[in-house]
Amino acid sequence: MAATASIALIIREDPRTSARPVEALRIALGLAAGENPITVILMGQAVQLLAEETDEVVDIEILEKYLPSFEHLQIPFLLVFSSGPAPELQEGFAITVGSSESVRKAMAEADRVLVF
């Protein structure tokens, strides 16, 4: 049997201006369905994916479809906020607030790193 490979999936784009962050979450959920442990890292404006107010997110219908699975599976999120006011976050997710250093550590420890 093949060994499992840990994955760090990093999302840096603003989901209010691009559909790529929501698509990246969809990909992360697909990867989590396998045996590989995954951590989703949201940096800067990408933290808007887990914000209480998501009305401005591109592809909001798709986001609303997949977020409950992240909550149910307790897929870990590492959030790195940009300067300025942080959004109010939804509850129920496995969230850790980190820093650039914690992202570097997660990347170094992962077998695979995907960046969006």
Each residue's pLDDT tens digit, 53-110: 999 999 999 999 999 999 999 999 999 999 888 899 999 999 999 999 999 999 999 9
For residue 103, is it within any domain?
A: yes
Whichever domain contains 93, its CATH number is: 3.40.1260.10
Q: For the whole model, what pTM was predicted? A: 0.94
Q: What are phi and psi of 105, to 5 degrees?
A: -65, -45
Number of domains in the chain: 1
Residue 79 lies in a domain: yes
pLDDT tens-place string over residues 11-45: 999 999 999 999 999 999 999 988 889 999 999 99
User: Domain residues for 58?
Assistant: 7-115
Residue 2 in any domain: the answer is no
Instruction: Check whether 1 has a pLDDT greater than 60.
Output: no
In this structure, the number of other CB atoms found within 10 A of the CB of residue 64 comes to 12
**Which conformational region is residue 74 in: left (phi greater than 0), alpha (psi within -120 to 50 degrees), or beta?**
left
Q: Are 12 and 44 in contact (CB under 8 A)?
A: yes
